Amino acid sequence: TSAPSAKTGLDHLEIQGVKKVFGDNTAIERLDLSVRKGEFLSLLGPSGCGKTTLLRMIAGFETPTDGAILLSGKDIVSLPPHRRPVNTVFQSYLLFPHMNIADNIAYGLKQAKVPKPEIAQRVGEALALVQMEDFAGRKPEQLSGGQQQRIALARALVNRPQVLLLDEPMSALDRKLREEMQLELKRLHTKLDTTFVFVTHDQDEALAMSDRIVVMYDGVIQQIGSGEDIYANPHNGFVAGFIGKQNFIPAEVTSTDSTTATLRTANAVLTAPTLTLKPSTAAGEPRDLAVGDRVRAAIRPERMHVAPAGEGSGEANTARGSVISYSFLGDVIQYMIVVGDNDEILARVPAAGREPISAGTEVELSWDADAVAVYDREPGAVAA
């Protein structure tokens, strides 16, 4: 992720009080969002959270039920898509099969009656941007999926949009190509002044590329921030579980003092430095922890230490368990460990210089108190 750069200036795309209702289904609740000029912003969330609907309203393919969308201070809601200084790259590339690559890219400029020499120059520039200069004369079917996606990008960029909208543009590509395209997109973004708004359901992709991520669920923004910020400080249980891996352990608060809360789970005693109960989604409010609260304790897998069981200290923030399985992931070893009868805990430890602990081995898990965050149970969750 890149730090906010000098070109990140005033907010120039403003979503104000935008709502979208389809029949009796509210896809987007009243939503406010400011996008900065030149920023790479991702809309991230599970299927059905409303991210595509939001993107389509910015593009002009959907009309908001309520609210305003301002670009550089001007409301664009009444403008048809082709009159907005905005272009979209879709998941399916939608290239014209009978036209060669150069004509595909030139299509919009021809429609707009741009003079021929200028078209030729801009098509050349766009092809150079995506490093596809040698492919101008080919037909789309003669290109690979990744190459077609680059052409779709060039076709959007040739119009010099103020905002480039990307609707899951890489979901049709295989993993390796996808990672290459991620780097390619970042390179392009760094070169251009264009604001990128990128829709994805893939958290790794959002983390790898974005200046800021907007995490959405159920038509509501759950959190906005840099990847680092959202990962380290999720505001609610949804974000804590959606971004990165997470262990959620049902627990009950047994005591609190001015600096610590003690929690009891089925198999361990936890102390947490946090005295705040974070809500399960953005609809709730954080509040002080109280004795008797039934909560979820959250601990990231990489905050777990795993050692072969010795005497077993039985202290707070330790638990005895048994390795169910491990996976060697290159840089880390990931263990699935069962604690007690059924608490399954994921632990990730650096792989370098260690032998994996084999399945069936009794182990002791431990973690620091500051690794524990406390979230409300999900509404409707069965009390443990």
- Using CB under 6 A, list all residues that contact ligand ATP: 22, 25, 27, 45, 47-53, 201
Distance CA 376, CA 219 (A): 21
Closest approach, Cβ 45 to ligand ATP, in A, equals 6
What is the rounded distance in angstroms from the CA atom of residue 68 to the CA atom of residue 211?
A: 24
Nearer to ligand ATP, 31 or 277 (CB): 31
Pairing of strands 294-299, 305-308: unpaired
Q: Nearer Cβ to ligand ATP, position 48 or 286?
A: 48
Closest chain position to ligand ATP (CB): 52
Is the CB of 57 or the CB of 132 nearer to ligand ATP?
57
Other beta carbons within 10 Å of 155: 25
Q: Give the C-alpha separation, 382 to 131, whole Å.
A: 55
Please, are residues 269 and 316 in contact by the beta-carbon 8 Å criterion?
Answer: yes
**Minimum distance from residue 219 beta carbon to ligand ATP (Å):** 7
Identity of the residue, 201 or 278, whose beta carbon is nearer to ligand ATP in the bound complex: 201
| Number of neighbouring beta carbons within 10 Å of residue 222 | 25
In sign, the C-alpha dihedral spanning 199, 200, 201, 204 is negative
- Taking the complex as a whole, the smallest distance from the CB of residue 241 to ligand ATP amounts, in Å, to 17
Q: Which is nearer to ligand ATP, 17 or 308 (CB)?
A: 17
Q: What is the DSSP secondary-structure string of 17-50?
A: EEEEEETTEEEEEEEEEEEETT-EEEEE-STTSS
Q: Residue 51 Cβ, how far from ligand ATP at the closest point, in Å?
A: 4
CB of 218 to ligand ATP, least distance (A): 9
